[in-house]
Amino acid sequence: MQTHEIVRRFTDYFVKNGHTPVPSASLILDDPTLLFVNAGMVQFKPYFLGDAPAPYPRATSIQKCVRTGDIDEVGKTTRHNTFFQMAGNFSFGDYFKEGAIQHAWTLVTTSQDAGGYGFDPDRIWVTVYEDDDEAIALWKKIAGLPDERIQRRGGQDNYWDMGVPGPGGPCSEIYFDRGPEFGEEGGPVADEDRYLEIWNLVFMQDVRGEQSPKYGHPPIGTLPKKNIDTGMGVERVAYLLQGVENVYETDLVRPVITRAEEFSGRRYGASPQDDVRFRVIADHARSGVMIINDGVTPSNEGRGYVLRRLLRRIVRSARLLGVREPVLRSFAEVVRDEMAPTYPELKTNFERIAAVVSAEEEAFLQTLTTGSRIFDTAVAAAKQRGAKVLPGEDAFQLHDTYGFPIDLTLEMAAEAGLDVDQERFRALMQEQRERAKADAKARKVGHGDGSVYRAVLDRHGSTEFLGYTMLEAEARITGLIVEGVAQPAATTGQHVEVVLDRTPFYAESGGQQADKGFLRGASFTVRVDDVQSPVPGLRVHRGVVTEGEVSLDASVIAEVDHARRAAIARAHTATHLVHAGVRNALGTSAAQAGSLNAPGRLRFDFTSPSGAVSPTALAEIEDEINTVLQQNREVEAYETTMDEARRIGAIALFGEKYGDRVRVVDMGEYSRELCGGTHVGRTGEIGLIKVLSEGSVGSGVRRVEALVGLDAFRHVSTEHLLVTSLADQLKAKPEELPDRIAALTERLRQAERDLEKVRIDAALASAGTLAAGAEDVDGVALVAAEAPSGVTGNDLRVLASDVRSRLGNRPGVVALFAPTDGKVAFVVATTPQARDRGLAAGQLVRTFAEPIGGRGGGKPDLAQGGGSKPDGIPAAIGALRAALRG
């Protein structure tokens, strides 16, 4: 049975049994606890947590998932995958254990002719939570399973929760016995390779506290509504039903291996070592394509780093198979062709996907060539010293200077029989940059601390948003929170969070900054500085009580700062126009990757695998979008179905989650996007859009910054005054300024070059004086001194070499030191006669490095390095002199 058929049968079965089909969520959700969606239930978390009511009592989905915790095991085993599909059925207070077990057993064991999967009932085993007698009784009643094929297991195996206080419950897992040739008898508790888990049924019935029942701690309560969350591994079911040995040989994965065989000329199954490489390519190609499809681009942080690591492991695995030409686009084409029947957007987005992988491969091939050479040198040096550990400094240099991922260094070091000093590597990374990453606190609220908001939502319902048509409205206070605790009142000077039953205030979302303004009551005023939505449906006004005492149930006039809202609306509408202009100029691969809409200014990030946008193209984009302003097009906002939005070509942003009803912001054929923000009525209201800059913010991601409206006019006016002033000073027309300034700049550069030549000639002229001052140290002519002022870098090498040549046929050592900006550079040179005595420049460095806090090295005739203690130069010279006497 083909994988797409497995998916179809699962969906058909549950839809026929009253479940609402829910499309797979993006792999990227706004969840501070996850890099990627890693389970089918993730998009339903708000319903399980009680943050929002479930819109349906039953649901079913085929969720795409990525788990990267076992990335190093991929390929080494036949069970670990980074990308997989999780088929699930969910009940929100509807059926419970009996219904879940009945559905799973029916679908798994019904014959294929009758629409099921046709698994042999006599080869099915199940596990249950250790004290779940109810589940055991149901398995006997529904499936007729004997006692010996029902096994009890502890909490770490058969209890599930979210890892934070909240809902949880016991699990029951379904296993299929593959047969004695795959392992020993005894059920799942004895061998989970022979007995393969295919489905997990979670009976969500408990409320867990700070400590999880997974580790023996009792639940602190029972959920008012019991829920069902199940997950069936599509790939695992596929390789069982397709009669192959593992997931890599299934119909959707094996074609990638076939393409790799074509490239390499090698055959899967011929070599265990090559098989690992083939499997890495197949797994990571699927993961990489699906992650890019949902809007991620390679970078050195977070999700982008995971993607970069996956793609680079593919390239290196192909290299180890003997492939030298680019491969990623070809592998991506295979993934597209195999997966598109379930995920048709792979075809729509393929040119962008292909551009991303091609750009990353090109960059990495350069890194791989340079980094591998440096790595090989470091490994050879370590082995020559008899070391078993590659120094952290070498790993850091590879990462920091050559862009070599530490994970790749670890892999290659292991293959060379070495460990890596990771502790030192991490210490150097910490010294290099401060990792002030935004964590859950920066996101304003996490899943663990939202109970106070959920309590308000449960009591009073969601906040009605009036801000699309109103900037001032009457409302009632339904929640009052001070320092995270619900309060009945707050007085002047206190920082408060106010929840209203209805509000015109826009909560920060989708790149649009929050509104500011005031809440005015009969005897109090609250200044609103920020508005957030910590749980779906609730808008929380954060600010300060500036007058009187505010209390629950009080009536207020909620008044938005009109001027600020208008400025933000102009910026947000302008962002849509910039998006359209960029896509028109660069193609559909230029997808939005982030934005900021603030009063008078905007920031727009977009994917651009081909690199920088030329100044000419940027000017054309600016001209085009300002032409649209002049046309004064109507900006229409309306709600429609997701299917209709797709039909009319509305652009959806990657990573955003949309419901069945969506809001479209429409400017005719020029721009049509899904958006929940606030906008102007006509494009002419924006006034002017002035693009300030375009630059890189990461691998394959560019950023445009622009001013809007009056801010744009002021900027243009200031630039005009500046140009006029320059034209007056240079006695030139404005259009002549570029040529005139270029000529002046070239004259200045030539003067600087001439001065530099004079300085260098003067410094090198000192070579004779330095050589003449050589002192005799046990028959060695030693020149050890500070170099003349201004001699640094390559000039220091040239000067040391010149001094050495003036020492004639004597054994001679030259050591010159150049202090600059609190540091010191040095060069050591030796004559052939000195080297005959065993005096090697690289070894001499070690004799004096400590006083200057330095390190360095080189060849016997010439070595160089640097230090951090210029004051130690006299002591270093003394140490060198003493070493020569020794």
> What pLDDT does 821 receive?
85
Q: How confident is the model at residue 756 (pLDDT cuts 50, 70, 90)?
A: confident
Helix axes 3-16, 234-241, angle to 10 degrees: 120
pLDDT of residue 439: 37
3-state secondary structure of 680: coil
pLDDT above 90 for 438: no
Write down the pLDDT at residue 596. Answer: 92
Token pair in block for residue 489 = 């009142």
Least confident of 371-375, 437-441, 621-625, 754-758: 437-441
Least confident range of 398-407, 619-628, 873-882: 398-407
Are 742 and 749 in contact, with CB atoms under 8 Å apart? no
CATH number of 565-717: 3.30.980.10
Which tens digits make up the pLDDT trace of 639-657? 999 889 988 988 887 556 6
Q: Which residues are annotated as a binding site for Zn(2+)?
A: 572, 576, 675, 679
Kindly indicate the confidence band of residue 368, based on its pLDDT and cuts at 50, 70 and 90: confident
Q: Are 826 and 794 in contact (CB under 8 A)?
A: no
Nearest Cα neighbor of 545 from 586, 599, 489 is 489
Compare 760 and 346 and report the one with higher pLDDT: 346
Look at the domain 3-244 and name its fold. Answer: BirA Bifunctional Protein; domain 2 (3.30.930)
- State the Cα–Cα distance between residues 574 and 624, nearest whole angstrom: 12
Interior CA angle at 634 toward 629 and 640, to 5°? 130
Whether residue 451 is predicted with pLDDT greater than 80 in this model: the reply is no
Dist. CA 839–CA 404, nearest whole Å: 36
Q: Taking a C-beta distance cutoff of 8 angstroms, is the pair 403, 372 a contact?
A: no
pLDDT of residue 446: 40
pLDDT confidence of residue 442: 39
Distances in whole angstroms, Cα of residue 107 to Cα of each of 114, 122, 225, 789: 10, 15, 26, 84
In 93-131, DSSP assigns E strands to 124-129
Q: Where in the chain is the domain with CATH 3.30.980.10?
A: 565-717
Contact call for residues 677 and 512 (beta carbons, < 8 A): yes
Residue that is written with structure tokens 């929940």 in the block:
676
Query: In this structure, are residues 864 and 825 in contact, taking their beta carbons and an 8 Å threshold?
Result: yes
**Answer CATH for 450-560 from 3.20.20.140, 1.10.3210.50, 2.40.30.130, 1.20.1290.10:** 2.40.30.130
Residue type, 640: T
Q: Considering only CA atoms, which of 692, 688, 696 is closest in space to residue 713?
A: 688
- Does residue 444 have a pLDDT over 50? no
Mean pLDDT score of the chain: 89
Confidence at residue 699, expressed as pLDDT on a 0 to 100 scale = 66
Mean pLDDT in residue range 74-92 = 85
Q: Is pLDDT above 50 for 52?
A: yes
> Which of 292, 267, 293 has its CA nearest to residue 278?
267
Average the pLDDT over 569-590 and give the result: 92
pTM: 0.62
- Strands 549-551 vs 502-503: parallel, antiparallel or unpaired: unpaired
Choose between 559 and 395: higher pLDDT: 559
Residue 182: CB atoms within 10 A of its CB come to 13
Average pLDDT value for residue range 517-525 = 96
- The answer regarding whether domain 753-884 maps to CATH 1.20.120.530 reads no
Q: Which residues line the annotated binding site? A: 572, 576, 675, 679
CATH 2.40.30.130 residue window(s) in the chain:
450-560
CA gap 844, 880 in Å, rounded: 7
pLDDT score of 306 more than 50: yes
Do residues 653 and 674 lie in contact, with contact meaning Cβ atoms separated by under 8 Å? yes
Name the segment(s) of the chain with CATH classification 3.10.310.40: 753-884
Greater model confidence, 315 or 300: 315
What is the spatial distance between Cα 860 and Cα 842, in angstroms, rounded to a whole number?
6
- 436, pLDDT greater than 60: no
Given pLDDT bands bounded at 50, 70 and 90, which one contains residue 435?
A: very low
The C-alpha angle 731, 737, 741, rounded to 5 degrees, equals 95
- pLDDT at position 656 is 61
Return residue ranges of the chain for CATH 3.30.930.10: 3-244
Least confident range from 28-32, 472-476, 719-723: namely 28-32
- Split at pLDDT 50, 70, 90, the class of 403 is low
pLDDT over 70 at 66, yes or no: yes
Calpha distance 655→799 (Å, rounded): 59
3-state secondary structure (DSSP) of residue 17? coil
Check pLDDT > 90 for residue 535. no
Residue 384 pLDDT: 85
Give all strands (DSSP E) within 13-123, no chain letters: 20-21, 58-66, 83-92
Residue 793 has pLDDT above 90, yes or no: no
